[in-house]
Amino acid sequence: MAILCVSLVGTPLGLGVILAGIAAKIIVTFCILLPFYLLMIMKISILCLLLMISFNLTSQTLEWVKQFGGTAPGAGANYGFAVATDASSNVLTIGDLRGTADFDPGSGTYNLMSSGGPDVFVSKLDSSGNFIWANKMGSTGFDYGRGITTDAAGNVYIIGMFQNTVDFNPGSGVFNLTSNGDADIYIVKLDPNGNFIWAKSIGGSGFDSASSISVDYQGNVYSTGTFLNTVDFDPGAGTYNLSSIGGNDVFVSKLDANGNFIWAISTGGTGYDIGSSLVIDQAGQIIVAGRFSGTADFDPGTGTYNLNSAGSQDIFVSKIDSTGDFIWAKSMGGIDSDRATRIKIDDSDNLFLSGLFSGTSDFDPGAGVFNLTSAGNDDMFVVKLDANGNFIWAKSFGGISDVYDARIALDASGNVYTIGSFQYIVDLDPGPGVADFTSAGYNDVFISKLDAFGDFVWAIHFSGINVDNGMDIKVDPSGSLLATGYFQSTIDFDPTSGTSNMTSPYVDVFVLKFDIPCSPAYATDVRTECDSLLWMDGIVYTANNSSATHTVSNPSGCDSVITLNLTIAQSNTGSEIITACNSFTWSADGNTYNSTGMYTATLTNAAGCDSTATLDLTIATVDITTQPTDQTANVGNSATIDFSDGVSGGVYQWQMDAGTGYADLSNAGQFSGVNSNTLNISAVTMSNNNTNYRCIVAEPSGCSDTTDVANLTVLTSSSIVEQHNSIIQLFPNPANQSITITAAHHTIGQIIISNILGKEVMNKSFASNRAQLNLKNLASKGTYYAKVLDSNGNVIAIKKWIYH
């Protein structure tokens, strides 16, 4: 959801209402949430520009209040525990029935009578509070109704616990289920007219109870609660046992639309662990909230994900996927007792938890800390987390005594409604303001509204002289507020100056409906965008605009009129053509490129817009394919040093090691070819030419490289010192019949064989790169030298070899 913040100026109506601190005229700031799909599709980021709009700020209006109970002999205590609604804004309530009670709140009578102990009742009223139907289910034992919901077709699902044998068909038929132990769990599906469809039971030998039920868009049914010992969670003919680790553990169960088992999981430890409430997100993932103690493992699979309570019991919220596999789990709490009672989810999959805590508790489940401290014993908290369980905000309120029950509901704008009860004095403003209420007797009922940021909007309370409790709250499709609970004696349910008294000599159920009126809100969407904007009205704007408007309606009929104030900034593009040697580091993206190509980088210009830079890069290299090799030459002879390369139009410069560094050669005297890849040296001398040579090669773009160093060895004619040259090969060595000498890339002109004393014993001339000498004419075995000369008479190599 996208958020619009609006400031309203007005005068509160209703004596029982506190709006952010009553004054003759007040300013109330609230925020509405735009539909999430608009945010995602159009990338809307609404800035909160607060407009001052003067009007009378009306409070909630009581549309109706109804009670279920009785005054006749046999009437008992009746409790409303949960309320639900359907697509037609009908109102469904579940709770406990004792004795005889009339469930037609109009002029008619529709009595239901419990079978012994408390029985389960289900009631359906229309949107105006008129009676449609009511059913009861129960036995002589203790049977409780704890959760209720509906599906898109209007079918009704209820959950709770029962003892003994109970007929769960409220019609003329019979469908008995029998508990296995102290108490078992039941799940019942009724059609929109209250007729029986199916019922299932789950339980073992211990006390097993359920607290929350939900249905996904496919009609699959999810439930959570707590169980003890070993329980078969397959309500059909099959068996799927789960066993608690120590005390009670949390369960989550999934059945299909016909009540058939799909899966069940359990989490917990050796302490007392309860699943209090669950919701389903848009991806079909299940989020459960509740309480745990000690160390509990919240990974229901083969893995382990332990959470440790800081005190006697802490709050947990965990997320599993649609197949029951673990996603994440978080905990919140302090050294005292903390427990979650409800979890709700908005259209953006943000999570809202409510519950009770005492002392100081940290409500940031992550690495951060967000401590709240109770004013008395138990205070109520409301926490907002994102879809990944990360902290957004937390609020609390309470008084010198206890707050009880602590349930919440959400409307389409992301506002939070709370319900519960309190004793003595309570401040229902979680912020710096004060919204004090004082109970008239024991417990009084309160309802309050917080905005999407958790800030106080208003609060009301209903007071009687006995115990009055608010147990559940819901927002129907029209945006009206529904609530249920129970009361005793006389209580006025109209929070304004009007009166709407209900009286019960015992304990009766109340169901009420408030209309939450609203006035149109106005805001300006101030935007600076690059090049164009697809706005929420579906139009693409390419120029500045300050006049376009769009109206957004929420389900409760409150329109928000948004005016666009748009500034279009321009992005730009640029290109570079670069020729570089070997590699190039581009300042646009900081990358180093080693090959020729087209490259792009996205930058942010001064206007904050993405700009595209293009690099047309040519990497120039000097390709020396064959390096020069060492050479030998006799004094007075010529020498040639060369190499090969792949450079077209290259520039060459030979250099000689002059003893103090390399010096450029010129085409004069002994040297020729100094500006080519072949250097010729004539009439070599020991003093001038017995040194190293190299060539600098430059290609046309200016890139250059230097060849390897080649050594020229100048020899006298009598030199028999072995001179190695890798291009000359002599084999075999040792030899006993003949030797073969090869020269790569050279022509052998002459081979002179000398003995170890330097005496010449054989001299042969050749004109090829391969020569073979017969050794049969050598006078004796021993060590010999083979001097290899090229066709110019230069010594190429002197090889030492052995004749044996």
If asked whether residues 562 and 415 sit together in one domain, one would say: no
Q: What is the rounded CA–CA span in Å between residue 640 and residue 682?
A: 9
Q: Between residues 689 and 671, which one has the greater pLDDT?
A: 671
Burial 22-35 (b: 16+ CB within 10 A, else e): eeeeeebebbbbbb
Domain boundary, last residue among 515, 533, 551:
515
Shared domain for 23 and 171, answered yes or no, is no
**CATH number, residue 767:** 2.60.40.1930
Q: Tell me the torsion sign for CA atoms 230, 231, 233, 237.
A: positive
Q: 31 or 245: whose pLDDT is higher?
A: 245
Q: Which two tokens stand for residue 102?
A: 């009339």
Last residue of a domain, one of 620, 651, 686: 620
Of 200, 224, 220, give the one whose Cα is nearest residue 211. Answer: 224
Q: Where are the beta strands (DSSP E) in 77-183?
A: 79-85, 91-97, 100-102, 111-113, 119-125, 131-137, 144-150, 156-162, 165-167, 176-178
What is 365-390 written as a DSSP string? -SSS--EEE-SSSSEEEEEEE-TTS-
* Lowest mean pLDDT segment, chosen from 13-17, 354-358, 477-481: 13-17
Report the domain count for the chain. Answer: 5
In a domain, 370, yes or no: yes
Where residue 12 falls among pLDDT bands split at 50, 70, 90?
A: very low
Give residue-wise pLDDT tens across range 400-435. Answer: 888 888 899 999 888 999 999 998 899 999 999 999
Q: Which domain holds residue 585?
A: 573-620
- Residue 167 domain-assigned? yes
Residue 720 lies inside a defined structural domain of this protein: no
Residue closest to 462 by CA, chosen among 473, 446, 478: 446
In terms of average pLDDT, the best of 145-154, 439-448, 782-791 is 145-154
pLDDT range class, residue 557, cuts 50, 70, 90: low
107-129 pLDDT tens trace:
999 999 999 889 999 999 999 99
Q: Sort strands 314-320 and 131-137 into parallel, antiparallel or unpaired.
A: unpaired
Q: Is residue 721 included in any domain, yes or no?
A: no
β-partners of residue 223 are 213, 253
Residues 285 and 356 in one domain: yes
Whether residue 584 sits in one domain with residue 564: no
Q: Tell me the CATH number at 308.
A: 2.120.10.30
Co-location of 166 and 267 in the same domain: yes
Q: Which of 498, 423, 404 is nearest to 465 (CA)?
A: 423
The three-state (H, E, C) secondary structure of 693-724, written as one string: EEEEEECCCCCEEECCCEEEEEECCCCCCCEC
Let me know whether 634 and 744 are in one domain: no
If asked whether residues 548 and 451 sit together in one domain, one would say: no
* pTM of the full structure: 0.64
CA distance 102 to 299: 46
Residue 447 lies in a domain: yes
Confidence of residue 793 (pLDDT cuts 50, 70, 90): confident
Which range among 103-107, 588-592, 763-767 has the greatest average pLDDT?
103-107
Task: Please check whether residues 426 and 334 belong to one and the same domain.
Answer: yes
Planar angle of CA 356, 362, 364, nearest 5 degrees: 105
Mean pLDDT over the full length of the chain? 87
Predicted pLDDT of residue 574: 86
**In CATH, what number is assigned to the domain containing residue 657?**
2.60.40.10
Helix (H), strand (E) at residue 480: none
How many Å apart are CA 795 and CA 790, to the nearest integer? 6
In this structure, is residue 723 part of a structural domain? no
* 188 & 320 share domain: yes
Residue at token pair 């904007």: 533
Model pLDDT, residue 23: 30
Same structural domain for residues 345 and 464?
A: yes
Statement to judge: residues 343 and 423 lie in one domain: yes
Q: Which residue has the higher pLDDT, 233 or 58?
A: 233
Asked if residue 774 is part of any domain, the answer here is yes
Query: How many CA atoms within 13 Å lie on the side-chain side of 440?
Result: 17
Same domain, 694 and 761: no
* Residue 218 forms part of a structural domain: yes
